Amino acid sequence: MVKLTGEMKESLTGTKLMFLATSSKNSTPNVVPIGAFKLLDDETLLISDQFFSKTLQNLKENPKVALSWWGEKGGFQIKGPVTLHTNDEIFRQDVAWMKEVRPNLTPKSAVILKIAEVYQIKAGADAGKKIL
């Protein structure tokens, strides 16, 4: 796994919405907006699932994802494997976090993304370039 740099973390911190791309076992793509996420450490992101349907099915069939965002400090795309948590300490921490920040939402699962690759998405000669 790779560690996000300070610039990447700053960009992510200022972001309110990300886009999560998944694919089914037969390669049918799906992209959804994500608003409930946070960094757990420099290489791990938590995504709180309240509404996933096709996305959840895809994650069960194919646990590889891409996640992209653009904020005031620029943007990046990250890729990596995910694990689903529905009845363990990670899930309980997700539920407690949601009760604090968005009490009207109830998580169905906690999705843990281990960051394996990072790509540049800003305009210019380096657009799409793998940077980590």
The pTM of the full predicted model, rounded to 2 decimals, is 0.94
Whether 130 maps to a domain, the answer reads: no
- pLDDT band (50, 70, 90) for residue 25: very high
CATH code where residue 109 lies = 2.30.110.10
Model pLDDT, residue 1? 82
CA dihedral 52, 24, 43, 105 (to 10 degrees): 0
Q: Alpha-carbon distance 73 to 44, whole Å?
A: 20
Full domain range(s) for residue 93: 6-120
Whether 125 maps to a domain, the answer reads: no
Whether 94 maps to a domain, the answer reads: yes
pLDDT at residue 127 tops 90? no
Q: Alpha-carbon distance 102 to 99, whole Å?
A: 6
Whether 128 maps to a domain, the answer reads: no
Whether 39 maps to a domain, the answer reads: yes
Whether 46 maps to a domain, the answer reads: yes
Q: Are 130 and 119 in contact (CB under 8 A)?
A: yes
As for how many domains the chain has, the answer is 1
Whether 27 maps to a domain, the answer reads: yes
Model pLDDT, residue 123? 80
Whether 107 maps to a domain, the answer reads: yes
- pLDDT band (50, 70, 90) for residue 63: very high
